[in-house]
Amino acid sequence: MEMESRNFKRNTRAHLLLGIILVLLGIAVMAEIFDAVPWRMRDIIFSWQMILIVLGVIFISGGSNRSTGYILLAIGGFFILPRFFDVPHYWRSLFWPSILILVGLLIIFGRTRKSGFSHNHIEGDDMIDDVDIFGGSERILRSQNFKGGRISNIFGGSKYDMRQTKLAEGTNYLEVSMIFGGSKFIVPEDWDIKIEVTTIFGGFSDKRQRSIVVPDSSRRLVIKGDAIFGGGELTNI
């Protein structure tokens, strides 16, 4: 109950902020129509960099997708800075190293903050704790008490065959971070799965074929996280 209350407050803040931003953008559009906005400011307000910054602020205020928010804020801020300041000619070449450092810090500090996914709580093969960077992996899981875990794909990908796996009772969470990468999950037909992945210039596809098998409602897997310039695929074949 307490968790639901916190989530409700976060969503309320995010929706309130989104409403305020939409009102301000509407005012900016009207100001542009009446030529009340300087040309330089108009180019900044209606730029793709500002869109990323606004999305980043909304995700951060929501609380549940802060990693996505920080990344979007960093990308938008990085490319909008030259509009305000004279930057060195090699500025753009610093983008990828900066993004890698940011993603690395988010992964490091994200792991330490979320005790449910820390190394001290990983229970053998019943939980996943995988990181694929500039590479890939394929795994066949056979756990009979699978409880979820955490997967990070950064410029890499992974494939998980879970057809011999059984979910633990209750609700199990699999947190994914897909940045310029992604994962494919092959799951049994009777799994009850809910997808809560936030996608930015990416996607997460549910390609499971319809089956006459009735899902076991007492066991559920929730796949949540972020897909930025990347994505995932869920299938049962």
pLDDT per residue over 127-153, tens digit each? 888 878 777 788 899 999 999 998 888
For the question of whether the overall pTM of this predicted structure is more than 0.85, the answer is: no
Domain ranges of the chain: 2-112, 118-235
Question: Which value, in Å, is the radius of gyration of the alpha carbons in the chain?
Answer: 21
Cross-strand pairs, 64: none
Residue 12: pLDDT band by 50, 70, 90 thresholds? Answer: low
Mean pLDDT value of segment 204-216: 82
Distance from chain centroid for Cα 65:
6
Instruction: Between 115 and 187, name the one with better pLDDT.
Output: 187
Q: What is the CB-side half-sphere exposure of residue 184 using CA atoms within 13 A?
A: 14
The pLDDT value recorded for residue 65 is 60
Residue 208: pLDDT band by 50, 70, 90 thresholds? Answer: confident
- Number of Cβ within 10 Å of residue 179's Cβ equals 26
